[in-house]
Structure 1
């Protein structure tokens, strides 16, 4: 980006001081969101979570987001100014934790560690988005061209929000994805994901009286499993992993159906397409067994080249703020950053919380990183929003 003296004077250690001054309020805001509970499958809970995020936006920024409900799922969009944003902060507030988790895993803040369902993935990132924007606003920087998007179905594949996301980032200068960090690193590349179900149809028969008249779908599927896994290519970074599987209905019946869920990951679109083609060509070595394949490519890969420019800029911002350089990491997990990068928008991911345990019992966020990373986000936003 071309240098702008007014912006460069703003991108200084004063941003770090401003972020630290807001830290106690940020911690309270994180608690508020965690204690709502917003599992993806419960749309009423997701709506309550969206309402709490909207309330925070009003309190911290004096602006009320639009609520866009798509197929029953509420998403929030807070635009400042133009209909064509320059910068989009990509968030989600749905979590993987069912209602009631808070009773056994309450929000806590002990010894610099925050715990609670969704605190790492990714409610801390949502709060950082709002406060980074507030820091710039308080410093007199225009938020013209900023969009803060908070979706409600990322954890279940962004089925209803994908089109909204792609429309929002079209033509943007940057998408900053507020997912949690990878051991403190920004995420500069992600694998694309594909999801399939392989179903084998056989023929039922009595397991004691006439098993020879059956076609055992369980055995047929078992023989296919090594072939399915072999569709991966370790050198190319492609994995094809059979996960959840089942067969049969009763203990004395030859199974007439067996099925397995397949998780596919690849670093390039070409590899995704190869796996997609080859998995659909599967046939059973068991005579009479029929193979059916459902599912498809879900998220394209976030290729490294889409993050390079923003990642280099992040190092410049870190130096201007007097902060350590932030490392970059290439990861196997996917996010909405896959969609923004595939849309041709420069994308930097993993800009949210530092901690560990996404989707796990030990989920936590480290408080010491919240203010510095919020200042980093504010600095990057200032640069990309500048004319």
Structure 2
């Protein structure tokens, strides 16, 4: 009988907290807004160096349409676990001047520390310790993408490609404010409605014009009515632009619309409603752009992995995690959308993502790293081809099989 490796407990990772904070400080100190490809490439080089140290191998550097992504495929066997991260942030270069890196009273601050550079450090630290403890990481893939914050236009296909055939996708986005795991995420759709009317002098002959502003006013109400609060579906008209001068009937305008839905059926219902919009004013022309960006991460997609996380937490002496459904989407929506079991929110715990108060609680980092390590080890041991239970059941491996 094979002896079970000793669990990597929170205490093991507590000893590594200074090193984790040093790595996080290095990543936060290199600002990586999604749109600044040069700045992002510099950040990717730092992640590559940290990852090479942790994983014992350099990553593949995948540049798609100028955007840098990093991929480590460990071992030569079938892909079994995808650890999914992104290192782009919403913060422009220069934000560090206003929100400098700091660690005060157990609270880390700095742009991107929570969303989601803290998750990258947690994942690499967890995998490094698994390697050091003798766990065979054959079948683990680590993917760090570069455009999540802008809808993953160059990485969505890559993410789906890496997830197919895996037993589990572990998404190291930030946890809920109380540390809960994100077992459900709304799907996101993004639209732009363009209206073409006809210009005319607003004082001399307004009746000869077709007002894009008036047409948009009618469309805003029709679009907002597609929401269904009872189903958790939000349809939010956001940015609106129309006209060019104050004395001209506006000939063109555009409206952006943000849609969030808990189920694919609701997402498709709204999509059909958006495509059924018709002009209200005679002669006005509508053009709809956009559509579904990310499918929902439905709770059923994460149920097995969440149960496994509860078992791992109990074994490690961690508080039982709570399941949380959130409105924001992530790259985990893509993997759940193709039917791969996906658990999100395994990254750092804090609050204030995308806001000036973004922060990470240092006391949560050791337990989070231990949970990630335990999940990876358990899924690998339970996957087909091992002596553990079939990963479909997502139970912890039997005693003596090396899981835990």
TM-score interval (norm. to shorter): over 0.9
Matches within 5 A, 1:290-309: 290-309=285-304
The CA RMSD over aligned residues, in Å, is 1.3
SS in 1 for 2:319: coil
Instruction: Verify the 8 A CA contact 2:200 2:248 in the aligned structure 1.
Output: yes
Structure 1 alignment gaps of length 5 or more: none
- Does residue 87 (structure 1) correspond to residue 81 (structure 2)? The answer is yes
Residue 315 of structure 2 aligns with which residue? Answer: 320
Are the equivalent residues in 1 in contact too, given 2:261–2:296 (CA < 8 A)? yes
Do the aligned partners of residues 138 and 121 (structure 1) sit closer, same or farther apart at CA in structure 2, a change above 3 Å counting? Answer: same
Indicate how the Cα distance of structure 1 residues 203 and 10 shifts in structure 2: closer, same or farther if over 3 A, else same.
same
Matched, 1:122 2:101: no
- Partner residue in 2 for 1:270: 265
Number of aligned residues: 381
**1:376 counterpart residue number:** 371
Q: 1:83-103, CA deviations, whole angstroms, 9 ceiling, x for partnerless residues?
A: 632111000001111111111
- d(CA) in 2 for partners of 1:39 and 1:133? 26
8 Å contact 2:77–2:138 — kept in the other structure?
no
- Where does residue 347 of structure 1 map in the other structure? 342
Contact 1:15/1:378 (8 A) holds in 2 = no
SS of aligned partner of 1:279: helix
Mapping of residues 195-344 of structure 1, within 5 Å: 195-344=190-339
How far apart in 2 are the matches of 1:322 and 1:266? 35
How many angstroms does 1:284 deviate by? 2.4
Q: CA deviation at 1:5?
A: 6.6
Distance 1:257 1:40 in 2: 30
Does the residue aligned with 2:289 lie in a helix, a strand or coil?
Answer: strand
Deviation at 1:361, TM superposition (A): 1.0
Q: 3-state DSSP class of the match of 1:37?
A: coil
Q: Secondary structure at the match of 1:10?
A: coil
Deviations 1:111-161 (A, max 9, x none): 111111100100000000100001111111111111111001111111111
TM-score of the aligned structures, taking structure 2 as reference length: 0.92
**Does 2:175 match 1:159?**
no
**2:359 matched to 1:364?**
yes
State yes or no: 1:38 paired with 2:36: no
Q: Quote the residue 2:138 is aligned against.
A: 144
Q: Distance in 1 between matches of 2:56 and 2:11?
A: 22
Q: Deviations over 1:228-283 (max 9, x none)?
A: 01111111111111001111001111111121100011111111111111111111
2: CA distance, partners of 1:171 / 1:354? 29
Return the alpha-carbon distance in structure 1 between the equivalents of residues 237 and 44 of structure 2: 35
TM-score, length-normalised on structure 1?
0.96
Match of 2:60 in 1: 66
Q: Which moved more, 1:339-348 or 1:283-292?
A: 283-292
Alignment-derived partner of residue 165 in structure 2? 171
User: 1:314, 1:234 → 2: CA distance?
Assistant: 31
Q: Structure 1 segments of 4 or more deviating over 3 A?
A: 4-7
Structure 2: how far apart are the matches of 1:371 and 1:82?
Answer: 30
Separation in 1 of the partners of 2:282 and 2:338? 45
